[in-house]
Structure 1
Amino acid sequence: LFVCMLSVENKIDAFRSAAPPYQLSEELKTNINNYSVAVMLSVNVSAYKGGVPRNHVLDILKRYRFDLPPGIEHDLANWEKISAYVSYALTQTRSKVKKAIRESIKANTNIFTLSQAIVQSTPCRTTVQLCARVALMRAIHEECNGGEKYWNLIDARLEFIRSRAGSSASKMAKAFNEVLRLDRAKYGADDEYIIGDTITDEWQQRVDEVVAGTSDT
């Protein structure tokens, strides 16, 4: 019996040694790319850099699994590969958004058109709340001329707004509405457009719930 057990263990070890290193599938990369955009565009996200958005995307992966191998989050080496790709996807998203905002300032693009361009090819809808978030991004870009600390400055401003509003959702909304009002008065002021009272897409709602920590487990 002991000899048989050793034989089985040796076969398992040989199988593990022969197995190719784990690589992210293209399907998983696509899901990570899409959910990275959704997290960055969430009206509930508290920071755009660092561990906050990355952990939100990883939480979504753990929740919906996609084609993740069972228990891979407990395999630190392979989970790090996934985490690294999430960080990469978020970096690419930030770069695209920043570029769109920079070009919108030069072109005097109204906030609705800018927000539509940012959510293009995603299920996200151009809501008032989303436009207000994008307006804040544009305001900070103008202040720092899109410098290296751009996203850090946005995160700092978000923290300032939250600290001033406390637990009051109405105060938060009022602060963002003011940012949006100033943006509309400055960019594309002569354009005729309406930011409708659009309901967030169900897909984005699920992301917002995870980001806010209100989703069912």
Structure 2
Amino acid sequence: MSSSRASTPPRDDDDDPLSDVFGAMAQSSPIAPPRADKRPHSSLDNGEENNDNNDGSTSPTPLTVNGNISAAATRYTERKRLKPDQKVEVDTFLYDSASVREVKLLVNLMVVQNQIEKIITATAPWQPSPDLLKNIQNYAAAVLLSSKIRTYKGAGPTNIIIEILKQHRFDLPAGIEHNPADFSKVIGAAQEALTQKRSKFKKLIIHSLKPHNHKSVENAAKADQLNIFQLTTLFVDGTRCSVNVPVCARVALMRKVYLKEPGQKFWDIVDENLVKIRKRAGGDSKQIIRAFRHILNADQNSHGVKDYALDDETVDGFQQEVDDVIDANLADAASTA
């Protein structure tokens, strides 16, 4: 029996407009789009430039500089008296791109650095100036003539001079304390000044006992020896110190020690005597003053003619400055002990 409905003819996919799309969808990997050909140079219109580079970037466009800026730059280079080639370089710099300017600045900074290094290398090593050495000599004398000093040898006197130099600076370079090589020269100068003063003082004591014949084994007669005023005057000669009772008392102690220990241990024995006096006084300043007054009186009665008067207990301003530094150092040492 035949059907009354007509059968539907089979669908032909080839007639579907999306058949090619469906075919592409059925593939395992996508197909790369076709590469577009570059437009040939011949297709460019007349007057049209091809600025495309192989990397896709465009060539830099020259900078435009304001005429006022250029004129101002020219006047400034003339005011600073630049060389002709330097003026040309400045003019070129105005038209450089930002990146080129940065490179030029870096290069020129390196050039300056190289020049500075040459100057530093060629500079002679630092040395204490004559003025600084003169100041050190003055303070070395004041330290050794101070009635406050506790030892004549060792690091104590040197440290006092260094402390004074740090306070006044004089012509010390800034930050020299942090340069061990240069600062050691300052310390060495202070030590040398103290050594010279100690040597001079000892020779003056010998002279005071044998004013007419230093090579004599025996000391001169009492009347021919220098009295304490004359001897102390020689001690302060060429310094900023003055003759007064405290200084004379210290000089008298030195002469007293020399009579018993004239050899190489002279200054060591002087320091030992200072320690003994302080220890016996137990920190009582009045007892220390009485001890030195006794030493001074004994010297006046034993050496030279007493044709002078020592009634000045006043210490001059320069010596007082040194005494204050010594007192401050002693206070610091006591507080940290």
TM-score of the pair, normalised by structure 1 = 0.91
Deviation at 1:106, TM superposition (A): 2.1
Deviation at 1:105, TM superposition (A): 1.6
1:140 matched to 2:254 = no
Deviation at 1:11, TM superposition (A): 5.0
Aligned length: 213
Matches of 1:4 and 1:198, distance apart in 2: 69
Matches of 1:44 and 1:198, distance apart in 2: 14
Question: Could you say which residue in structure 2 is the equivalent of 1:58?
Answer: 162
* Structure 2 unaligned blocks of 5 or more: 1-101, 212-224, 331-337
1:199 matched to 2:314 = yes
Report the residue type matching 1:201 in the other structure.
D
Matches of 1:42 and 1:93, distance apart in 2: 13
Matches of 2:148 and 2:205, distance apart in 1: 20
Deviation at 1:191, TM superposition (A): 2.7
1:160 matched to 2:276 = yes
Task: Return the index of the structure with the highest Cα Rg.
Answer: 2
Report the residue type matching 2:326 in the other structure.
V
1:212 matched to 2:316 = no
Deviation at 1:193, TM superposition (A): 1.1
Matches of 1:4 and 1:18, distance apart in 2: 25
Matches of 1:115 and 1:54, distance apart in 2: 22
Matches of 1:46 and 1:180, distance apart in 2: 18
1:88 matched to 2:192 = yes
- In the alignment, is the contact (CA less than 8 A) between 2:236 and 2:243 conserved in 1? yes
What do the CA deviations read for 1:49-70 (whole angstroms, capped 9, x no partner)?
A: 1111111111111110000001
1:40 matched to 2:144 = yes
**Root-mean-square deviation (Å):** 2.0
- In the alignment, is the contact (CA less than 8 A) between 1:38 and 1:204 conserved in 2? yes
- Once structures 1 and 2 are overlaid, which stretch shifts more, 114-123 or 54-63? 114-123
What do the CA deviations read for 1:86-133 (whole angstroms, capped 9, x no partner)?
A: 111111100110000111122421111111111112221211111110
Deviation at 1:10, TM superposition (A): 4.8
1:120 matched to 2:237 = yes
Deviation at 1:214, TM superposition (A): 6.9
Matches of 1:212 and 1:14, distance apart in 2: 47
Deviation at 1:18, TM superposition (A): 2.5
What do the CA deviations read for 1:17-57 (whole angstroms, capped 9, x no partner)?
A: 22210011111111111111111111111111111111111
* Structure 1 unaligned blocks of 5 or more: none
What do the CA deviations read for 1:179-199 (whole angstroms, capped 9, x no partner)?
A: 1111111112x4321012242
1:169 matched to 2:285 = yes
Greater helix proportion? 1
Report the residue type matching 2:280 in the other structure.
R
Matches of 1:126 and 1:26, distance apart in 2: 27
- In the alignment, is the contact (CA less than 8 A) between 2:146 and 2:322 conserved in 1? yes
Q: Which of 248, 251, 275 is 1:131 aligned to?
A: 248
- In the alignment, is the contact (CA less than 8 A) between 1:100 and 1:114 conserved in 2? yes
Matches within 5 A, 1:9-20: 10=114, 12-20=116-124
TM-score of the pair, normalised by structure 2 = 0.60
Tell me the percent identity.
41
Q: Secondary structure at the match of 2:309?
A: coil
1:70 matched to 2:174 = yes
Matches of 2:133 and 2:150, distance apart in 1: 24
Matches of 2:207 and 2:195, distance apart in 1: 18
- In the alignment, is the contact (CA less than 8 A) between 1:125 and 1:198 conserved in 2? no
- Higher relative contact order (CA closer than 8 Å, sequence separation 6+): 1
What do the CA deviations read for 1:123-158 (whole angstroms, capped 9, x no partner)?
A: 2121111111000000000011x2001111101111
Q: Secondary structure at the match of 1:213?
A: helix
Q: Secondary structure at the match of 1:21?
A: coil
- In the alignment, is the contact (CA less than 8 A) between 1:22 and 1:78 conserved in 2? yes
Report the residue type matching 2:125 in the other structure.
P
Matches of 1:18 and 1:124, distance apart in 2: 41
- Once structures 1 and 2 are overlaid, which stretch shifts more, 147-156 or 197-206? 197-206
Question: Could you say which residue in structure 2 is the equivalent of 1:49?
Answer: 153
